[in-house]
């Protein structure tokens, strides 16, 4: 009876709290559309954002164009006539903002202060309730750092103004890219979390005629089995990066893109195309798309894999978000416990069709909660006898199955999260827990036909899940000397780390004492399959190899500089660089990686792991590892990419030089071209082969202090004119600079890249 009374008290309060939680229905109005502010149906929104203010390039004050001043001055009062409770914000920047002006503003304290003070004053004078910062062209690590400083100072100024003038505090938000990653850096999630009230995530423009003129695609895919450019990946990266879901507002595009088909009969997603249709960028408002569909009696199709709509008329193909897509995305935002949604932009709608669909989806959810509340309360009140009976039977079953030697049927299903207790709960829920039967079915009973290969951990199989997604399945071998720790490390790290150049672990299975990892499937195998083979290497021209070098650099840069933790891979090598369908690289195999706190520079161990040929001398001699260990491995890998040569062979006239020595001797004697793969041509590339050789030799220096950081490497690769240090003789050289003594590091080690070692135990 006490249980029933407790249910009567707790359940209603729990449901009422959940139902009462606020849900944001937000939208941008862009002055460039000339859509009358008075025509906005503000009753469909809780927040409306007026776009855009700009920055004066001389004073760095917030500035409004003369044509916008009148509209902006009446924006708040106008939209509040129909909806007095609507909250208004002024957005600053936008897609046409001048990169140099914004980068300069955020980099100088005095300019930041001018901008901040003027923004607060202007927001107050025009009646806005908050400020929204939109700088989509931010790209560098310096930009990211300075944005963090701007938000720190901006929030402080807003709080001070509110206290000093006894005003309600202005909201502070930003329009952010779909994921936390920008071109060459990661946005400052800690500062964003601390200072901003919420973030508008621009979850669109993944696949457009400008970026992908040769192929139709989903401009705003919720999911994409072949690419990380999708909303689910982006939202997951923000959350795993440390931004709470209740601070994320999901962007919904009220527009689409049109392509010109090469063959009107081939009109599906991914069909060959000849660039955009209608406009240079191919962009179309939702209203224009609906008008086009009505004019030609076209039929739109819904694709549940990407969650998108599309239609075609003769040679024109249009991808967009229709009503069904908008409802699906709002439901997704609810399931992810996000704060709400924001549309770009309000005037693009067709007779408020999409805005109403989004709002109705929210109302349906709220009604569902009330319905659930009644369904729960009525049986509790009227069926107390039944509940007592069920509870009694459950207690009896519980006692029965807790006897020694007996388990509940679902105990195995709960076990994985307990088994992986090292994983924080906010990380692990991004990984799917698979049953053994699911994996067995996906791999056709672990058949030989599905087997992709085998390493020290165990065999790897190609699998196909019930939803059609192709995966790679790595199963721990019974004879493997690796196990629990490597398994936990791999799952822990891939749950925390999200980057386009890191291989994703989708889930795992620990039923029946198995240790199985499920990865995204990489159809083009690993880098070593190509660069060492005289025929396969022809598939990798210099442009593709530049893409691989850049991707690996960005992956390591993220691990060392931009993730919440510093990660040392410790087994970076060609076979651990996997290639997707576009030959873009992903760093794989984090089983022996090490995690550092940001203030720790190095550590040591008695357990030497990694692969000979890629391991630096200080690690072999003294077990010392640091971020410079991965820099060394990257240098070896870079030498292999530009030459097609292995570390396990010896070179030179007498075949007595290892790969590093051979590269250095040729470079020192101005014969570096002889080291390079003769099939490569860098004439039309800003990425030069000799620059890569110079950088690689810096990375493989004996002393870790002489090696550059990944930040420095990234900069040198992108800036050919940068002055670079002259490398000394590399590690493991037979002779040192200036004498003929044998290097202490070379004794007994050699340079071979045959297998990963764990205290001389192969993986």
Say whether pLDDT at 18 is over 60.
no
Catalytic residue among 143, 349, 427, 571: 571
pLDDT tens digits for range 734-748: 766 554 433 333 333
**DSSP reduced 3-state for 78:** helix
Q: Residues 616, 628: contact at Cβ < 8 Å?
A: yes
Task: Say how far apart CA 242 and CA 199 lie, in whole Å.
Answer: 13
571 annotated active-site: yes
**Residue 564 predicted with pLDDT over 80:** no
The two tokens of residue 598 are 């940001």
Q: Looking at 305-391, which runs of residues are DSSP E strands?
A: 308-313, 316-320, 340-344
pLDDT at position 608 is 60
pTM of the predicted protein model: 0.54
Mean per-residue pLDDT of the chain: 83
- Whether 155 and 130 have beta carbons less than 8 Å apart is answered as no
pLDDT computed for residue 747 by the predictor: 36
For each of the domains in the chain, give its residue range(s) and CATH number, in order of start.
22-365 (3.20.20.80), 407-520 (3.30.200.20), 528-758 (1.10.510.10)
How much is the pLDDT for 493? 75
285-308 residues labelled b (16+ CB within 10 A) or e (exposed): bbbbbbebbeeeeeebeeeebbbb
Per-residue pLDDT, 383: 55
- What is the predicted pLDDT for the residue at 280? 92
Contact 295, 236 (CB under 8 A): no
pLDDT band at 87 (very low <50, low <70, confident <90, very high): very high
Instruction: Check pLDDT > 60 for residue 492.
Output: yes
Q: What is the pLDDT of residue 527?
A: 95
Quick check: 680 and 650 in contact, CB under 8 A?
no
The torsion defined by the Cα of 706, 711, 713 and 715, in degrees rounded to 10, comes to: -130
Q: Beta 602-604 vs 577-579: how paired, if at all?
A: unpaired
* Side-chain half-sphere exposure of 614, counting CA atoms within 13 A: 24
Helices (H) and strands (E) in the chain, counts: 22, 31
The span from the CA of 161 to the CA of 140, in Å, is 31
Among 375-389, 526-540, 598-612, which is the least confidently predicted range?
A: 375-389
Tokens (6 digits) for 733 = 């050289």
Tell me the per-residue pLDDT of 284-329, one tens digit each, with 9 for 90 and over: 999 999 999 999 999 999 998 899 999 999 999 999 999 999 999 9
- What integer pLDDT is reported at residue 652 of this predicted model? 86
101 Cβ contact partners less than 8 Å away, ≥ 6 residues apart: 55, 57, 60
Buried b / exposed e over 604-616, threshold 16 CB at 10 Å, is eeeebbbbbbbbb
| Rounded-to-integer distance, Cα 76 and Cα 129, Å | 9
**Quick one: which of 30, 21, 20 has its CA closest to 343?**
30
Q: What is the mean pLDDT of residues 119-134?
A: 97
Quickly state the pLDDT bin for 364 (edges 50, 70, 90). Answer: low
HSE, side-chain direction, 13 A CA sphere, residue 18: 16
pLDDT digits (tens, 9 = 90+) for 499-521: 889 998 888 998 888 889 999 99
Residue 129 DSSP one-character state: S
pLDDT band at 628, cuts 50/70/90? very high
The crossing angle, in degrees rounded to 10, of helices 323-335 and 353-382 is 50
């Amino acid at each position: 009876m006490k249980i029933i009374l407790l249910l009567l008290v707790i359940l209603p309060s729990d449901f009422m709290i959940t139902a009462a939680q606020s849900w944001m229905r937000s939208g941008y109005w862009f002055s460039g559309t000339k859509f009358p502010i008075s025509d906005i149906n503000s009753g469909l929104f809780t927040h409306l954002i007026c776009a855009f203010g700009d920055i004066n390039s001389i004073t760095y004050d917030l500035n409004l164009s003369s044509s916008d001043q009148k509209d902006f001055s009446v924006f708040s009062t106008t939209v509040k006539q129909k909806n007095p409770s609507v909250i208004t914000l002024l957005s600053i920047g936008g897609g046409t903002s001048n990169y140099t002006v914004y980068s300069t503003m955020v980099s100088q304290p005095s300019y930041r202060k001018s901008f901040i003070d003027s923004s607060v004053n202007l927001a107050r004078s025009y009646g806005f309730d908050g400020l929204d910062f939109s700088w989509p062209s931010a790209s560098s690590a310096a930009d990211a750092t300075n944005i963090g400083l701007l938000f720190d100072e901006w929030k402080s100024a807003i709080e001070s103004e509110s206290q000093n003038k006894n005003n309600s505090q202005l909201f502070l938000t930003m329009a952010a890219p779909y994921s936390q990653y920008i071109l060459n850096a990661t946005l400052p999630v800690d500062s964003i979390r601390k200072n901003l009230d919420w973030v508008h995530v621009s979850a669109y423009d993944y696949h457009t005629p400008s970026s992908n003129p040769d192929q139709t695609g989903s401009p705003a895919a919720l999911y994409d089995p072949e690419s990380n450019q999708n909303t689910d990946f982006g939202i997951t990266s923000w959350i795993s990066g440390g931004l709470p879901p209740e601070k994320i507002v999901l962007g919904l595009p009220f527009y689409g893109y049109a392509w010109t088909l090469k063959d009107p009969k081939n009109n599906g997603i991914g069909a060959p195309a000849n660039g955009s249709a209608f406009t240079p960028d191919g962009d179309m408002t939702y209203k224009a798309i609906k008008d086009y569909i009505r004019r030609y009696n076209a039929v739109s199709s819904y694709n549940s894999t990407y969650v998108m709509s599309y239609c075609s008329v003769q040679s024109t193909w249009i991808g967009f978000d229709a009503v069904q897509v908008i409802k699906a995305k709002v439901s997704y935002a609810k399931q992810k416990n996000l704060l709400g949604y924001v549309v770009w932009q309000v005037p693009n709608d067709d007779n408020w069709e999409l805005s109403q669909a989004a709002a109705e989806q929210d109302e349906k959810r709220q009604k569902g909660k009330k319905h659930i509340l009644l369904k729960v309360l009525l049986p509790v009140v009227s069926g107390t006898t039944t509940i007592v009976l069920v509870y009694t039977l459950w207690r009896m079953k519980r006692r029965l199955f807790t006897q020694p030697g007996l388990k509940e049927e679902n105990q195995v299903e709960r076990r994985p999260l307990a088994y992986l207790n090292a994983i924080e709960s906010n990380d692990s829920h991004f990984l799917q827990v698979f049953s053994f039967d699911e994996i067995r079915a996906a791999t056709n009973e672990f058949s030989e036909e599905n087997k992709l290969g085998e390493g020290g951990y165990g065999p790897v199989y190609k699998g196909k899940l019930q939803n059609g997604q192709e995966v790679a399945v790595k199963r721990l071998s019974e004879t493997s000397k690796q196990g629990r720790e490597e398994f936990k490390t791999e799952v822990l790290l891939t749950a925390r780390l999200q980057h386009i150049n890191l291989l994703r672990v989708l889930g795992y299975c620990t039923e029946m004492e198995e240790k199985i990892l499920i990865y995204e499937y990489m159809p083009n195998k690993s880098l070593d399959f190509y660069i060492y083979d005289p025929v396969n290497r022809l598939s990798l021209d210099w442009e593709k190899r530049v893409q691989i070098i850049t991707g690996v650099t960005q992956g390591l840069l993220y691990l060392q500089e931009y993730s919440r933790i510093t990660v040392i891979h410790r087994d970076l090598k060609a076979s651990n660089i996997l290639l997707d369908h576009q030959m873009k690289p992903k760093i794989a195999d984090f089983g022996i990686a090490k995690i550092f706190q940001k203030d720790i520079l190095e550590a040591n161990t008695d357990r030497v792991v990694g692969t000979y040929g890629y391991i630096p001398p200080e690690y072999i001699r003294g077990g010392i590892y640091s971020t410079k260990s991965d820099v060394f491995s990257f240098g070896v890998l870079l030498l292999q990419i530009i030459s097609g040569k292995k570390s396990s062979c010896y070179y030179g006239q007498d075949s007595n030089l290892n790969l590093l020595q051979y590269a250095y001797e040729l470079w020192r004697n101005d014969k570096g071209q002889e080291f390079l793969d003769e099939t490569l041509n860098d004439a039309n590339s800003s990425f030069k082969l000799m620059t890569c050789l110079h950088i690689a030799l810096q990375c493989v220096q004996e002393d870790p202090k002489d090696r550059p950081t990944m930040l420095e490497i990234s900069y040198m690769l992108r800036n050919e004119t940068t002055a670079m240090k002259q490398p000394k003789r590399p590690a493991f050289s037979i002779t040192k600079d200036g004498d003929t003594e044998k290097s202490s590091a070379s004794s007994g080690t050699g340079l071979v890249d045959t297998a990963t070692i764990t205290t001389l135990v192969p993986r």
